[in-house]
Amino acid sequence: MNTAQHAVPDLEALIRQTTGNAAFAVVSLRNVGELSGQHGLSVATAAQQCFQERVAASLREADQFLPLGSDKVCVVFDQLMDDNHVLLAGLKLERAFEEPLPVADTSVRLQVHAGLVYYGRRERLDGMNVDDLYRFAEAALSRAVEKNACFEISSEEAFAKIQRDWQTNHELDKALQDHEISLDYQPKYRLEDGELVGAEAIVRWRKGGQIIPPQDFMPVLNETKLWDLTLYSLRRAIREMENFNTAVPIAISVDGRVLQHPEFFNALRSELSIWGVPEGRLSLEVRESRFDDAHTIGALEELHALGVSVVMDEFGRGSASLEKLRDLPVDEIKIDRSFITNLVEDEQDRQMTAAIIDLAHRFHKTVTADGVEDAETFLFLAEAGCDVGQGFYMGAPLNELQFAELTALA
């Protein structure tokens, strides 16, 4: 089999030609630069030619082959019985590169990795374009490189999840257009006297009469959709602040990746200026896991310069140490709800929570407990000196009109 026999015009054609259960693969020669540096350009060129020839020679007549460059190819393994045949295809690729390439008086080994996605019949792509399928294969390829394995396979179960995640990202665009996305506001109360001191804006996706919880869709959003949703939430929260009869800060959860978006600070400055948001009225909650990232910390310092307060969210789940609290550019820490949920039954969680509250106060940080769901938890936190609490025991999330009514009474 030679490459000319199996070359097709593009990736779309590669998929259209499948007739049975199929798997898509991206195969890459990874050490071209190393070979060129050690042995010269002629050896690197010979390695690239050998790479393509060996991949093509490992394919069956039903398979399709498309070179993407001298050191990367796409393959469709067609007419497979099941995902066990995908494993056989990967093993066949691995065997194809077991023998080193003879070069003059020496030999060189080709470092080849592949990412395979088994998607079954073409109809199972369910409207996904080939770019999506290619990305999934590239992700599997990256995992193979990380593991130093010849190949990695995304299983049928994994592909089904990929499809669901893709569908969620696809549907979010329509949800934004159809006004299915809104914000609810969960009140935050001072534990000492019960005074309303803020609220967290929570994204609500109302679909077909049901509410999809944020934890069911936020983690699977790609960076583009995450940016779209964050920008929408930011603009909506700032706009709705005008209807609240209170000057307490409204907190918005922001993924650390969004802070690195090139347009984030331009968009934020624009919204703050248009609506004349006073200093301290807007608060951004960033997960603790991002606080080891120098770029994120730089962004938080820039937020302070704009008069936006910063909350370290989910404290206790990540790797930020208590000692680092002194120097971190945060105004408030929110103890992760996994500690709060088990306070009544778990002595270690009580000790940890009390220690966090004590040390945070030494560094002049406000402490908020998330997930206050019963009287016992409320009383423990109040006695331990926790500043602020939020949870269903203190107040359920409210829509814009309900929260406006609440602030009118406060």
User: How far is it, in rounded angstroms, from Cα 230 to Cα 233?
Assistant: 5
Instruction: Report how far apart, in Å, the C-alpha atoms of 349 and of each of 35, 111, 150, 263, 342 are.
Output: 55, 49, 44, 40, 7
Which sign, positive or negative, has the C-alpha torsion 177, 281, 203, 397? negative
Q: Collect contacts of 349-354 with beta carbons under 8 A, ≥24 apart.
A: 350/380, 352/316, 353/380, 353/381, 353/384, 353/386, 354/384
In the numeric block, the tokens 């406006």 are attached to: 404
pLDDT for 350 beyond 50: yes
CA distances from 217 to 121, 204, 226 (A): 27, 10, 10
So what's the pLDDT on residue 366?
Answer: 95
Say what the pLDDT of residue 6 is: 42
* Block residue for tokens 């009514």: 405
d(CA 230, CA 196): 25
Question: Residue 274 pLDDT > 60, yes or no?
Answer: yes
Q: Given this model, what pLDDT does residue 222 score? A: 83
Note the pLDDT of residue 289.
66
Mind listing the domains of the chain with CATH numbers?
3-166 (3.30.70.270), 179-409 (3.20.20.450)
Judge contact between 31 and 12, C-beta under 8 A. no
Helix 375-384 × helix 347-362 angle, to 10°: 40
Given this model, what pLDDT does residue 139 score?
86
pLDDT value at residue 311: 94
Provide the angle, in degrees to the nearest 10, between the axes of the packed helices 156-177 and 130-147: 130
Residue bearing the bigger pLDDT, 26 or 139: 26
CA 380 – CA 131 distance, rounded (Å): 53
- Residue 114's SS3 state is strand
- pLDDT grade for 331, boundaries at 50, 70 and 90: very high
76-90 mean pLDDT: 88
Confidence of residue 314 (pLDDT cuts 50, 70, 90): confident
**Stronger pLDDT, 328 or 195, i.e. the higher one:** 195
Sign of CA dihedral 320, 323, 329, 333: positive
The pLDDT of 37-50, averaged and rounded, is 90
Percent of the chain with pLDDT over 70: 92
Q: Which residue has the tokens 């359920």?
A: 396
Residue-wise pLDDT for 218-253, tens only, equals: 988 888 899 999 999 999 999 999 889 788 899 999
Q: What is the DSSP string of 302-322?
A: HHHHTT-EEEEEEETTSS--G
Report the half-sphere exposure of 308 (CA within 13 A, side-chain side): 27
Q: Is the dihedral of CA 292, 295, 298, 302 positive or negative?
A: negative
DSSP readout, 133-162? Answer: HHHHHHHHHHHHHHHT-SEEEE-HHHHHHH
pLDDT tens digits along 91-105: 999 999 999 998 877
Task: Report pLDDT digits (tens) over 112-171.
Answer: 999 998 877 766 666 666 777 888 888 899 889 989 999 998 866 776 777 788 788 889
Distance CA 53, CA 97 (A): 11
The chain-wide mean pLDDT, for the chain, equals: 87
pTM of the model: 0.70
- Which pLDDT score, from 0 to 100, does residue 215 have? 86
Q: Distance of CA 269 to CAs 257, 366, 377, Å?
A: 18, 25, 39
Q: What are 355's two structure tokens?
A: 């220690």
